Chain A
Amino acid sequence: DIQMTQSPSSLSASVGDRVTITCRATQGISNYLAWFQQKPGKAPKSLIYAASSLQSGVPSKFSGSGSGTDFTLTISSLQPEDFATYYCQQYTAYPYTFGQGTKLEIK
């Protein structure tokens, strides 16, 4: 199975900051990489697919990059509603696998 590792596992930031979360795959996955946001008690929300394409309705403050094994999610100008847990996922091979999550907290 392809393992996905996110770093950091948790992150403290302030409103207005820009943050970057990294996701690494144990083998090349081309650009078959997605990012999701999850708030407590809610279902995950799809943010990005194909490593860098924004889902419809997702603000441009979210951006993704990378290819192969190394990927990043960048969130600019953090607002209170952005504080959540973020997951990456590969969907090039079964079983689809997720990173362990990065909890973004308010400093």
Chain B
Amino acid sequence: QVQLVQSGAEVKKPGASVTVSCKASGYTFTSYAVNWVRQAPGQGLEWMGWISTYSGNTNYAQRLQGRVTMTTDTSTNTAYMELRSLRSDDTAVYYCARADDSSGSYSQFDYWGQGSLVTVSS
């Protein structure tokens, strides 16, 4: 069965960096893109960006440009999201989510990871 298993909770100080991992299983990793979505406490969903696991192409949300990097390791079927220069308002649950990548356009997110809480606090 399809599974996306994310890394555990992290506590970081302002200005630090965090890397969240998302290990995929149960499907052909390079046939689906990975999106990253975050959710601040008690708030809604914010799309952070997308990476094609086939080509490595990325598209980041404008407000995170310069602070976020998404990568994949196809040898371990794992996607990574690094966020730098952390601020208190980056405190959130971070999710990876799978999306069909075959049509050349974006698609719905059909499987999600369990979420990784990142807390930014001095």
Asked whether A and B interact, the reply is no
> Measuring CB to CB, which residues of chain A are less than 8 angstroms from any residue of chain B?
none
